[in-house]
Structure 1
Amino acid sequence: MVADIDGGAVSADALQGIVWQVWTAYLGSGPPGEPMPPAAYMAPFDVTGAAAIAGAWNGHVILRCRLDGMSAIAAAMLDLPTGSVRLDDVVDAAGELLNIIAGNVKSLLPQPSVVALPQVVLGEADVLWPGALAIRELRTAFVDWAVLLSVMEVDGASLRFP
């Protein structure tokens, strides 16, 4: 389910298409047709990844998931048995998945823009993006785990220094 927010160049269909392509190419199957129940997206997530985009457009692409879900994603991406996934694998897979998604989102935005290296935080963290406003949110899933993907735009006024 994509939140009804004015996402500008990042349309709901475009974001869903990116996720479907990435899930299919890197995880072996597209996201489920139906999103998880709304309560699945209210639970605290313990894996948060963010990649900043800067240039003609400024903002962030954020990926949030539970650790067990990201472990399943890491197992699929790295072709590992689920029980052998280490925390380093989870961080690497989350960062790589986010880098791929953010790169695809960047291609929809005004140019020139660049994607920064993704940052991944493990644990239930209240991560803030000052001056940023969510312009698109996609509630999707991998197998039985909720995945929340957000695109946030940074207000240009908040980037100016006195």
Structure 2
Amino acid sequence: MRSEVDGGPVSSEALQGIVWQVWTAYLGGSPPAEPLPVAAYVEPFDVIAGVAIAGAWHGHVVLRCRVDGAAAMAGAMLEIPTGSVRLDDIVDACGELMNIIAGNVKSLLPQPSIVALPQVVLGEADVVWPGSAAACELRTGFDEWAVLLSVLELERGLR
């Protein structure tokens, strides 16, 4: 796993630790020790799940992956065969994973901070968070699927 950006209250090492705990506890496996080839992270992702955090710190925690990878995670989390996973299962599982990940990220942030409900977007879309910049980014994966996790911090003047 590798970070392209690392700054602010959340380090790539801390995010990697959170991912390891979540993958182990909820998906029954651990993330890969090394990121997948760079090309796996440049292809357009068609599942984007994000959670906003507000309070003493303002920003978002975002997961991006391909729908096949999201289906594999949903199958593992819901203990059903990947081929039986429906789009609703993907939305539910990705939303719940982001709740868990964002809650763990929140524990590293200045307090008080609150976590909003997750939003999950399916399909290739240009999802943007205006005024936000990557504070931490982690390239990881689940099985053979690339997963990109980002912690985006809102610029101070926009809070």
TM range (shorter): over 0.9
Q: What is the rounded CA distance, in whole Å, between the counterparts of 2:5 and 2:97 in structure 1?
A: 24
**Aligned residue runs from structure 1 range 63-74, under 5 A:** 63-74=63-74
The residue correspondences of 1:1-162 to structure 2 (distance < 5 A) are 1-159=1-159
Unaligned runs of 5+ in 1: none
Percent identical pairs in the alignment equals: 71
- Give the TM-score, by structure 1 length: 0.96
**How big is the shift at 1:4?**
4.4
1:9-41 deviation line (CA, Å, top 9, x unaligned):
201211100000000000001101121100000
- Aligned-partner residue type, residue 7 of structure 2: G
SS in 2 for 1:146: strand
What TM-score results when the alignment is normalised by the length of structure 2?
0.97
Q: How many residues align?
A: 159
CA RMSD, Structure 1 to Structure 2 (Å)? 0.9
Q: Which runs of 5+ in 2 are unaligned?
A: none
Contact 1:2–1:136 (8 Å) recurs in 2: no
Matched letter for residue 120 of structure 1: V
